[in-house]
A and B are shown apart, each in its own frame.
Chain A
Amino acid sequence: MTESTTTETVQSIIAELKDKPGALLPLLHGIQDALGYIPENSVPAIAGGLNLSRAEVHGVISFYHYFRDTPAGKHTVHLCRAESCQSMGSNALEAHVKNTLGIDYHETTADGLFSLEPVYCLGNCACSPAMQIGEEIYGRVSAESFDEIINDLGVEA
């Protein structure tokens, strides 16, 4: 996406959502849904549109774990670290995932295919350990099933 289309996208989302009560979160979601992240240079436009200071907008973006200010890889693996998944071996799975992808949390693989983020519960605790990639949720994830899923996605890409 070129810089001018990015600016246009941001502007149209601001125009569409700015009059909602408490518009900032819906607006940030809109931008992240469209662009995959919230570019730092969109902050002044958002602040202007909502009559907020840039510091306020930046403060909100940085407060919420879900919002990101850099592009993610093609697929973001959200791996659950919470208690239920731990009780079913997610610590070992976590080590396997990091080792397989060669990255730590909040990082992206060199080929740009995968980003890794921790998540604290996907509500999939009846089938732990769990992870989410895009809108797909996976339960009872093992090292083997993880490799399979990742291979399939890698081929797709």
Chain B
Amino acid sequence: MSITVYISGDSTAISIGANRTAAAVVKEAAQRGVEINLVRNGSRGLYWLEPLIEVVVNNERVAYGAVKPSDVASLFDADFLNGGQHPLALGSVEEIPYFKKQQRLTFARVGITDPISLDDYIAHDGYRGLKNALASSQAEVVKQVTDSGLRGRGGAAFPTGIKWNTVLNTPSEQKYIICNADEGDSGTFSDRMIMEGDPFVLIEGMTIAGLAVGANQGYIYLRVEYPHAHKALNAAIAKAYQANYLGDNIQGSGKKFDLEVRLGAGAYVCGEETSLMESLEGKRGLVRFKPPLPAISGLFGQPTVVNNVISLASVPIILDKGGDYYRDFGMGRSRGTLPLQLAGNLKHTGLVEIAFGMTLRELLYDFGGGSASGRPIKAVQVGGPLGAFVPESQFDTPLDYEAFAANWTVLGHGGVVAFDDTANMAEMARYAMEFCAIESCGKCTPCRIGSTRGMEVMDDIINNVDREKNVVLLRSLCDTLLNGSLCALGGMTPYPVLSALNHFPEDFGIDG
């Protein structure tokens, strides 16, 4: 019998050599006449251990990492296919504290199953949520989601159940489900990991959403920078159609749901839901005025649910185990778990799915292991390029939407980028303005013009041209952006700018 060997096909694992390691394993096995069954799974999310190899020994998975191609021969010599000892041996991934301390609900299968095997998905509790949804009324499904306390994981944290309820109660011949997979925030990759590592969970979540609100067409708006996710989604969608999990007659229920992936084209602003819909309609991604809400008049003017990947991928477990089960995780009004992404200058970067409530400090040090460079962490940017820079004095804030908001910081999509003390926060503030200028859709003046003026003002501050006067001007400009912009791009660019200025005035050459 051949031995099953797992090596991640996740794009980040590939970016640091997983394909080369996999090729070396296949070649070495052939040379030694050993039969192996290689599965390219998603990533467990412990990226400092990638490329990670897991071998099934007596129905248990034994891990080795990080494995370079040059390590492969010695692994075979150590009989790793039978769990042999080796300097790279890690034992069971599930026993590594970084993994063991997590609560993986949405990511339950990622890194474990073959991402595009429907059989594997079903064997690991897949499609149980859909089964329950098919046996319930639309209102009951929406109620489960409402009861779960799930809030939009894209960053805005709007209650998902309320959005669905609005679409359910807006009569229309045609409704749509859109999955916002335009994960453009720096420091975030949880959407990508789901789409590459467990695409069926997203398909199931969207199918449940479609049944719940009466929409028979779904679109996944995927950023073009994710070619691996694109392939995985298309392969999984084709399998779901073959097995009647998508199409005209879902599991014999007579209900219909079609799903298609559409690619973006490198515009950050298309992660904003109204801009995304314009783009799906084949137009420039200009932000729309709200109201009308997309739930009432969205894609092609029809009632539309727009949800983030993680929100939709959390729906199957809610429908499987009940809204109460999910709601029992978390704190305050932040219920359930949040897949946090540790990125940038950290020793142990990766994915940490855990109930809301842990402090940022625990996340950075207990999980992240401190900075990669070994220097002190100066600031972390949480919530993407529009999130505030959080100074050390605020590291004890619990990971909770309201607690972050109280500090004028943003939890957002859960991306955490750490900077060591070599970072210059005035340069980061300038970059925030530059990014806004590059990505502005141009519809509203504060964002279109303000970002370019902001860059110029930052240049003057950095070059000590009328510094004091320009700091006053920068604050005034930020006030205009905050209050006058049409969407979060202009409206939140002041978060990184002002937080940098307020917490690190010395980098701007001024006294606090």
Which of B96-104, B119-127, B144-152, B412-420 lies at the binding interface? B412-420
Q: In the complex, which range does the number of interface residues on chain B fall in? A: 35 or more
Contact assessment for B279 and A126 in the assembled complex, using a CB-CB cutoff below 8 Å = no
Which B1-50 residues have C-beta < 8 A from chain A? 11-12, 14-16, 47
Contacts of A50 in B (CB 8 A): 282
Q: In the complex, which range does the number of interface residues on chain A fall in? A: 35 or more
Provide the A78-98 mask, 1 if CB < 8 A to any CB of B, else 0.
100011111110000000000
Known: A64-B285, A123-B188, A126-B349. 7 other contacts (CB 8 A): A22-B281, A50-B282, A65-B266, A82-B187, A84-B343, A121-B187, A139-B12
Partner of A83, one of B14, B226, B372, B431: B431
B398 within 8 A of A: no
Distance in angstroms from B399 CB to nearest chain A CB is 18
Query: What residues make up the interface of A, taking CB atoms closer than 8 Å to B?
Result: 21-26, 28-29, 50, 56, 59-60, 63-67, 78, 82-88, 119-128, 130, 132, 135, 137-140
B267 within 8 A of A: yes
Partner of A84, one of B263, B281, B417: B417
Contacts of A119 in B (CB 8 A): 225, 266
Contact assessment for A124 and B189 in the assembled complex, using a CB-CB cutoff below 8 Å = yes
Contact assessment for A59 and B343 in the assembled complex, using a CB-CB cutoff below 8 Å = no
B376 within 8 A of A: no
Contacts of B428 in A (CB 8 A): 83, 86
Distance in angstroms from B419 CB to nearest chain A CB is 5
Given contacts A83-B385, A83-B431, contact A25 B262 (CB under 8 A): yes
Number of interchain pairs (Cβ within 8 Å): 151
Contact assessment for B349 and A125 in the assembled complex, using a CB-CB cutoff below 8 Å = yes
Contact assessment for A125 and B415 in the assembled complex, using a CB-CB cutoff below 8 Å = yes
Distance in angstroms from A32 CB to nearest chain B CB is 9
Contact assessment for A125 and B418 in the assembled complex, using a CB-CB cutoff below 8 Å = no
Contact assessment for B283 and A125 in the assembled complex, using a CB-CB cutoff below 8 Å = no
Partner of B192, one of A21, A87, A123, A128: A123
* 20 residue pairs A–B, Cβ–Cβ below 8 Å: A21-B300, A25-B262, A25-B264, A25-B280, A25-B282, A56-B283, A66-B264, A66-B266, A67-B265, A83-B186, A84-B186, A84-B417, A121-B225, A123-B192, A126-B189, A126-B341, A127-B12, A128-B343, A130-B15, A135-B227
B184 within 8 A of A: yes
Q: How far is the CA of A89 from the CA of B267 in the complex (A)?
A: 24
